[in-house]
Structure 1
Amino acid sequence: MFDYSERPDLAPYACKSGESRGRRYLETSGDPRPMFERDRDRIIHCAAFRRLEYKTQVFLNHEGDYYRTRLTHSLEVAQIGKAVARRLRLNEDLTEALALAHDLGHTPFGHTGEEVLNQLMQGFGGFEHNYQSFRVVDKLEQRYPDFDGLNLSWEVREGILKHSSPHDLPTTILDEFLPGVVPSIEAQLINYADEIAYNNHDIDDGLKSGYLTLELLKGVELWARMASRVRERYPAIDDRRLVARTVSALIGMQITDICETTWANIQQFNVNSPDDLRQVNRVLVHFSPVVEAESLALKRFLKERLYRHHKVDKMRVKAEHVLSRLFETYVKRPNLLSPKYRRRIEQDGVERTVADYLAGMTDRYALDDYRVLFETVERG
């Protein structure tokens, strides 16, 4: 007989499936697996997760097969999150579920898509991708006969909603999830796993694209220090392998720093249970002051040299045009929406329904939809 019980070596401050606040809708499936493990699997099997394969991280999906997508980014966040969770004896299933779900609500065309939709939705509740991820798992996925959404545990839903301090959320939603109170350590961890993943893979992708160079990176203290260590160990290393080994060393160093700093905070504030954490009400997961400063400098560098690169800006203009035209057209002519979406208009309003529709698109689907609606000449 298989043992489906939760791992016995979890730390006392870790979240445990057996102590969960439960699901919104009662289920009687008889599945013996721990709740957070089942949540992770529900996320992996949902349609929104599969669509992440064709959603932009920085570079548009059609620009090359080697650049990161939202899917590969989510997998890297899960890898980093689990590495930290294992060392701190946190709940790896909960950590992985949150990592895989944190970008489910992201638009096509990366953060540009989010900015465009937020602007278009002013006066209609705005648009924020963390809240959209919550809408995906709580309402928009339709896989079960008795309820909309995935019916995830309270802890996973809270972690999705509180990822990266979302703002302007409906109070009716926040009231269910202890507003003003920090989420679990596992949920706090995802914020930093996310940052570690995108900083390092954006360096890698930026170098592959040619928008960044190793010469430019010499001026970034964090990169220069780690690259120097790699060169000391491998004096004859070529540039391609240098990049790979430096990125790996950076991730490893930041994981170690997070573990040591978080463990020190857990001890300092005497957190011995999830309830203790709520009482202390502090973010315990963060970098040490030195690594935090270096990480901020790296983010500033990426913003100036990569995210504002003139070729990235050209992609941004294209994305703005495509999403704006699609939004305006569907709001004016909602009859063009499929019956599935038209049925939602009465409850959610036409603007929110159109935003849900566009946010669920992949990059290539948005571009194809634009061509169908606005291009009169078929391409040969």
Structure 2
Amino acid sequence: MEERLREEMRRIIRVKDPDEIMRTIKNKASDPNVKIGFGAGKLLTVKDVIEVTHPMIDKHIDYGNITKNLNSGRIKEILEQIVILKDAYDRNSLENLMNLANDLIEEVKDIVIERTLIKRILEATGDLRPIVMPASVGRSEIPNIYLVNENYNEEDRILLAYKLLSSIPVGQNISIFFEGDFHDYLKSLLRRKLDKTMLSSGDINSSRWELSQPYVTLARLLVWLRNQLWEDILRDNAVELMKASSGIIYFGSSVQIFPQLSRFVEIWLEKERNKTILESMLDSIKKFSDNSHRIGKKAVEGEIELLYDKLNFLMMRLIEGSLEWESLRRILDSMLDMAERLRKQGNDVRFSLHFISQLLEADTRGSSEHTP
């Protein structure tokens, strides 16, 4: 499992073009005040050499301590040799420069991986760290958040870190891990059909408001899968894998656990009319929010955020298998209040509430609840 973790780390690290790195070195080395080394105000930063493509992981990489490790030993020697040869133009020197640049890239990449794996995961001595579970802190920092017998061995930490590392990013602040075989299947499907390992708001027809809420993002992702990749999922006999999957939503510095998707898939994805109703609701609220923000700007941002808080709760209940009418009522009230406030300011926001009547007519029974 440790080797799989190392492979996942390598997969999410993209190395920069050696020519691009050489240009950065040449530009900075022309300033006599710039010191040879890594860090702010020095020849290079870690991100001049590599890029962590998984946004949730990038937020939790300990770049400060990694930078300290890069300013000694072999890497410093490589940088010094590159600076000496940077202006050479003979064939042998140019070949040496490229070899040195490639060596530098591999050394930096290895230190990022090993420093993250060993110091933040393998040697965490019974505690959790954000690279293992976002929002967690060490026992030495806040000891009273751990239960008396709560402990995490190396195997636990590796498994938790693997789930985060292999989760599917949706935008910059959310990533999702599906338990069971559906996760690897979905990642393979995204690579095969779209050549993607992560999804943007544009990919799933989402908005920044939706991507600020974990369950709204999950619902939008599942509706998008139903619209765009359902034929493949059916052909690959993967619907049952989706139904059996529960999972984790990593959201900023918090973690949300969602239950098995069987009931949600049966009611809101497999039933074409219900899928259309759910999508219509998401689209209507998205259009209303975008139009309101276009007119009211920052004056309505707080109200839109509250609206999506309420929508997130409704989506959480839908994912769990029930439609909560009180939450829907709160969403309706928020939209009407915001529209009325903008109207009083001389701004008319047109919007549709047709999805309300559609939801009233939706068949929300699961397959086991139908009577002959």
- TM-score interval, smaller chain: under 0.3
- State the TM-score, normalized to the length of structure 1: 0.27
User: Which structure carries more relative contact order (alpha carbon 8 Å, separation 6+)?
Assistant: 1
> Larger radius of gyration, structure 1 or 2?
2
- State the TM-score, normalized to the length of structure 2: 0.28
The answer to which structure has the higher strand fraction is: 2
